[in-house]
Amino acid sequence: MIGTGHGDLYPISVNICSLKTARVSTPDDEMLLGLYWNAESAKPYGGSLTARATLPRSESDGPTTRLERKELTRQRLIDGALALIGRGRSYTSLSLREITREAGVVPAAYYRHFRDLDELGLALVEMGGVTLRRLLREARRDGIPPTDMLRGSVLIYKRFVEERALVFRFIAAERAGGSRILRDAIRTEDGHFASEMAQDLRALGVLPDLSSASLQMICGLVVTTMLNAASDILDLPRNRPVQEQEIVDNFVRQLRVIFLGAKHWRE
């Protein structure tokens, strides 16, 4: 039973400390996301949307500090919204009371963490964008030889989309409709993604003859292609290796066409 003493959580039976202690390098970002990654394998510790770092203590203990209790409630609200999306609901159709009921928290607790539904949606956008950008940046800089960079990045991206399917279903839906605030946030994330990619490609000596503006444009096309491919990845039936390989190969070919065109681009 969870009893916080602050009125945020209804008493419910859940084991929140069954995960192993995670080691993280950027506590602020990671505490926001509640998702921890092994940079070498790009696999999430624990494999759960609610996986989080824990302080060294007995696994039978619950959250003891006010910050931990607050972060737990915040994550439960995020997970509650994702659970409803996973049952076929659009984010724009959700109500505050539905989300808090799914999360097992009292409605008043919502406003201690988010001002409105758009602010929770912004957390979901950041949830996908920040971690994905970091993963692909690490792949470009460290883990993948230049000759395999496209295919390696595609495979990392594909695995990330599959393991964060609900987040990407939310992003795919809100990118084309819903709240303007969320559409603007997704466009901003797209821009950050393209800018970081352009910086890394410049540092790696890829397309050295292109101006910064043209390189940014090329990276914008790559990001758009990646987001469009997310729907194909999410709709891929399980245990269809041939179809899965076709999707990956087609994705890689699309990116190669972009870079081939960029190589011959004239200002």
Q: How confident is the model at residue 200 (pLDDT cuts 50, 70, 90)?
A: confident
Q: Is the pLDDT of residue 49 over 80?
A: no
Q: For residue 205, which phi and psi values (nearest 5 degrees)?
A: 80, 20
- Per-residue confidence at 83, pLDDT binned at 50, 70, 90? very high
pLDDT digits (tens, 9 = 90+) for 107-129: 999 999 999 999 999 999 998 88
Q: Shortest CA distance to 194 belongs to which of 222, 230, 168, 171?
A: 222
| % of the chain with per-residue pLDDT over 70 | 73
The token pair that represents 51 in the structure block: 């996986």
List domains and CATH numbers for the chain. Answer: 125-263 (1.10.357.10)
- Residue-wise burial string across 142-158, b where 16 or more C-beta atoms lie within 10 A, e elsewhere: ebbeeeebbbbbbbbbb
Q: How confident is residue 103, by pLDDT bands cut at 50, 70 and 90?
A: very high
| 9: pLDDT strictly greater than 50 | no
Q: How many CA atoms lie within 13 A of 61 on its CB side?
A: 11
Q: In the chain, at which residue ranges do the beta strands (DSSP E only) sit?
A: 37-38, 43-44
Q: Which of 18-27, 57-66, 74-83 has the lowest mean pLDDT?
A: 18-27
Give the highest mean pLDDT range of 31-35, 44-48, 179-183, 201-205.
179-183
pLDDT digits (tens, 9 = 90+) for 209-266: 999 999 999 999 999 999 999 999 999 988 899 999 999 999 999 999 999 999 999 8
What is the rounded distance in angstroms from the CA atom of residue 164 to the CA atom of residue 67? 25
Structure confidence at residue 13 (pLDDT) = 32
pLDDT at 184: 95
